[in-house]
Structure 1
Amino acid sequence: MAYFLTADGGTESLRARVYDLSGTCLASAAIPYETRFGAGARAEQDPEDWWRAFVNAARKAIAESGVDARAIEAISLATTSCSVVALDGQGNALRPAIIWMDVRAGEEAEAALATEDAALRVNGAGHGPVSAEWMIPKALWIQRHEPQIFDRAATICEYQDFMTLRLTGERTACFNNISLRWHYSAEHGGWPLSLIEALGLGALRDKWPARVVPTAEVIGTLTTAAARALGLPASVKVVQGGVDAFVGMIGLGVARPGQLALITGSSHLQYAVTDRPIHAAGIWGAYADLPAAGRYMLEGGQTSTGSIIAWLGRLMNGTMDLDALNRLAAGLEPGADGLIVQDHFQGNRTPYTDPLSRGAIVGLTLAHEPQHIFRAIMEGIGFGTRLILDTMAEAGCRSEEITIGGGATASDLWVQIHADTAGLPVAVPASRDGPSVGAAVLAAMGAGHFASIDDGIAAMVKPDRRFEPRPREAALYDDIYARYRALYPALKAPRAG
């Protein structure tokens, strides 16, 4: 039997899992690490903490699985994106990693967008965005504010690349990550050289890893030091994984044109697969050769989703009983007795890309209770997802089904609301651990067990439940959705000047 080791390196912890070739998880272990926050929306982590967490979690998961370490064939990782590291010539961090949620590089992002460089054509048909979260603004910030670090850095890369360097000794860049967040375009010549030159950042090119590794390709085998640390044979293959949400998409079984993944948590991400490039205002991408060669991926996102539910819990001072609220909210009619929520509590990612937009609860009366607000929040988030899907459809990418993963799947009511508001069936896979399952699929491919992502998904991703849109509720939501869409222009804050 073949076995695979995976890691899901998230914002708060790293979870290692052991899988067999059927996609069954045999054991799991998680190790937390610290995020250090600072003024100016700063958030940093120590890359050595990532490595220590992986070693400790991996050893624990392997031991608990009962699998002989010599039977593990390959490793693949899913990690956060936009977690930027500056390394010296020996691969050691020169400063803490600037992680994805750190947005100190706002001015640098504006400078990148102001270049109007051709590299920006991929997102929003050239209208942006360029996020302060992304690689180039963060690298530019380091150059401007910490020039001695920038000059000393032999490598500037991300979490995924740091881990694969530590595992294999190979200096590589993850193809799906650089396509999504470094303005690398497989369609248009690769690296965004004119963009970084326009920013006075040309030296960055030699600091980026030269070898670009596609998803599921073998990077190398374990170094002697890595094998010793993990308690594994040096012959174990390290297979290119990628961005946690992207790998999670594969773990949900979404890879063929026409399919769409809805990945839920503190925020929502919508990933659609197409057979042709589509670039349009209000959507990100299409990114070429993702999730596989000859295919394209479109991206949408909602900044605040599950985090709004958490906000409601804080307002309720720890008294929120999710099971009870779900039961009570399920007894309400669509529309929550006249409430509509605009889900822009931390701005809007797509289709408006408006960081200044804000959330709203409209229609409140003294008769409303917590379950009304709870249901209206879920409905407002459902409408936000529908708006993104409508924007994709208007651009020529229409999906007939949503496959959902993540935190929202814990609530049957919320999944049903997504089906009813979108007017589409929603499929729920058996495993909620999409990034880990996806990493297992990629590891198995790299080990030679499957010829394609489609074959790996067919063997390792198991279906579970399916929620059909209910005609009566869907019709009611059509009217409420029109009122939801009217909120943004009505509430949009006037811009200075």
Structure 2
Amino acid sequence: DEKGNPLRNSIQQNDARAVEEIKYIKRIIDEDEYFSLTSNTINQQIVPPKYLWLKKHEPEKLKKARYIMGSYDFISFKLTGISHVELNWALESGLWMVREKKWYKKILDIAEIPDHLLPAVYKPIEIVGETTEILPGIPVIAGSADHIASALGMGAKEEGDLLLKIGGAGDILFVVNSLKMDKRLFLDYHDIPTKFILNGCMASSGSIVKWFRNNFTNNLEFEKLTKLAEKSRVGAKGLVMLPYFLGEKTPIFDPIARGVILGLG
């Protein structure tokens, strides 16, 4: 809100609640044109469907909104008092033009997102401001999306470098030296200027392992689970899992896809 307080719990990128809103946007937009300008498809990750969902289901809260930003942007906002978003958050929001590096007016109008809700966009290493309360005067940079920072930290910086990153979600990150877009994948700016990262992203990955442990193993330690898995033969005795526990992102972009664990008997 105007004072910088969150109006509700955050809606994460993997959240698939805005199914009807995705269908609505797909009916009224040229998806090929949208993809060519933003590098995004109309999917559960981008902001426009979620904003329309909030407008329909929580209009009073939305009326009080002053900023739209990502989780790590919010943390640095609280540290500095300066509203902003980082470059890759802007790109992954589906509101940003990948080449022109500016907000895409057409999708803002379709989603009925006012311009004043969108703060300034900073590159990852740009200084946003300084801390104001905890040890005042410490410079704060915009930072980077977790998966992109992981790629840089692991040394994935040359074209063809590949990184598999597992967290709550799962990412297969592939470095390219020039802009390349594929509707089956997400695209990110690399933290090294002029480079890009193609991203095959599963909506749920490590989160499924945690869910399985909590519900089926009496909270067995992950290390012990790993050792048990090591003993299983290739093919896991025919066990099959479709990992669509939060819908799915790439490559099928289906928010109503459902997960299955088959062959437990």
TM-score (norm 1): 0.47
Runs of 4+ in 1 over 4 A off after TM superposition: 319-329
| Number of aligned residues | 260
- Tell me, in whole angstroms, the C-alpha distance in 2 between the residues paired with 1:176 and 1:206: 20
Shift of residue 219, structure 1, vs aligned partner: 1.0
**2:158 aligned residue (224, 235, 256):** 256
- Report matched runs for 1:219-368 at 5 Å: 219-223=128-132, 226=133, 230=134, 232=135, 234-285=136-187, 287=188, 289-314=189-214, 316-318=216-218, 320=220, 323=223, 326-327=226-227, 329-337=229-237, 339-346=238-245, 347-354=247-254, 355-362=256-263
Q: 1:183 aligns with which of 59, 84, 95?
A: 95
Tell me, yes or no, if the aligned pair for 1:112 and 1:130 is still in contact at 8 Å. Answer: no
Q: Which protein has the bigger strand share?
A: 1
1:121 to 36, 45, 53: 36
| Counterparts of residues 2-21 of structure 1 (less than 5 Å) | none
1:305, 1:169 → 2: CA distance?
34
**Deviations 1:296-346 (CA, angstroms, capped at 9, x unpaired):** 111112233333433443454417465555445434542234x14233241
Amino acid at match of 1:105: A
Asked if the contact 1:113/1:120 (under 8 Å) is kept, the reply is no
Question: Could you tell me which amino acid in structure 2 is paired with residue 173 of structure 1?
Answer: V
Is the 1:153–1:207 contact (alpha carbons within 8 Å) kept by the matching residues of 2? yes
> TM-score, normalised to structure 2's length?
0.82
**Residue 19 (structure 2) pairs with residue 106 (structure 1):** yes
By how many angstroms is 1:239 displaced? 0.8
Q: % of aligned pairs identical?
A: 22
**Largest Rg, 1 or 2:** 1
The 5-angstrom pairing of residues 119-198 of structure 1 reads: 119-121=34-36, 128-131=41-44, 133-188=45-100, 190-198=102-110
Q: Which amino acid aligns with 2:240?
A: V
Quickly say closer, same or farther: Cα 1:329–1:108, change in 2 above 3 A. Answer: closer
Q: 2:117 is matched with which residue? A: 207
For 2:208 and 2:65, locate their aligned partners in 1 and report how far apart those are by CA, in whole Å: 39
Aligned-partner Cα distance in 2 for 1:235–1:319: 44
Which residue of the partner structure matches residue 395 of structure 1? none
1:49 counterpart residue number: none
Compared CA separation, residues 142 and 302, structure 1 to 2 (3 A): closer
8 Å contact 2:37–2:99 — kept in the other structure? no
Instruction: Tell me how far apart the structure 2 counterparts of residues 99 and 356 of structure 1 sit (CA, whole Å).
Output: 19
Note if contact 1:274-1:297 (Cα within 8 Å) is conserved in structure 2: yes
State the Cα distance separating 1:218 from its structure 2 match.
Answer: 0.9
Distance 1:299 1:221 in 2: 32
Unaligned runs of 5+ in 2: none
Unaligned runs of 5+ in 1: 1-86, 366-497
Q: CA RMSD in A?
A: 2.9
1:328–1:105: structure 2 CA closer, same or farther, 3 Å change rule? Answer: closer
Contact (CA 8 Å) 1:136, 1:182: kept in 2 or not?
A: yes
Counterpart AA for 1:265: G
Query: 2 CA distance for matches of 1:91 and 1:325?
Result: 42
Cα distance in 2 for residues equivalent to 1:148 and 1:305: 35
Where do 1:395-434 residues align within 5 Å? none
